[in-house]
Amino acid sequence: MSAGLSVISRLAEEFEQRSQVFGDDAKFLVEVKSGQVEASLNPDRELRRLKQMFESWKKDYSSRLRETKVILNKLGSEDTSGGALDKAKKKWWGRRNSTRHM
């Protein structure tokens, strides 16, 4: 399961780094727009570009989170040796309880 933790750690680290970068970029654009900082760029165009980059990254990151979740669930189900047996027991109790109330 250490491989799973490693993947999660990398995803969390990437999230923190990207959050910092997007936040810093947005703050810089606000400073340019308000005249606090001189820059030879169009802050409105750069903000649209930053938003597109963020949406693209968010979509990619979300996809990788879903893939990681599937992999971890598969690893978790393989780790439990009696997983199928536990499910069968739960279903049996569920059927028994549901017929009792009829």
**What tens digit of pLDDT does each residue of 10-40 get?**
999 999 999 999 999 999 999 999 999 898 9
Domains of the chain, by residue range, sit at: 2-100
57 burial class (0-12, 13-18, 19+ CB within 10 angstroms)?
middle
The one-character DSSP state at 55 is H
Q: Could you give the CA distance from residue 75 to residue 77 in angstroms, rounded to a whole number?
A: 6
Q: How confident is the model at residue 89 (pLDDT cuts 50, 70, 90)?
A: low
Sorted by sequence, the CB contacts under 8 Å of residue 52 that are 6+ apart come out as: none
Asked if 15 and 62 count as a contact pair (C-beta separation under 8 A), the reply is no
Length of the chain: 102
pTM of the shown model: 0.66
Among 24-28, 50-54, 58-62, 68-72, where is mean pLDDT lowest?
68-72
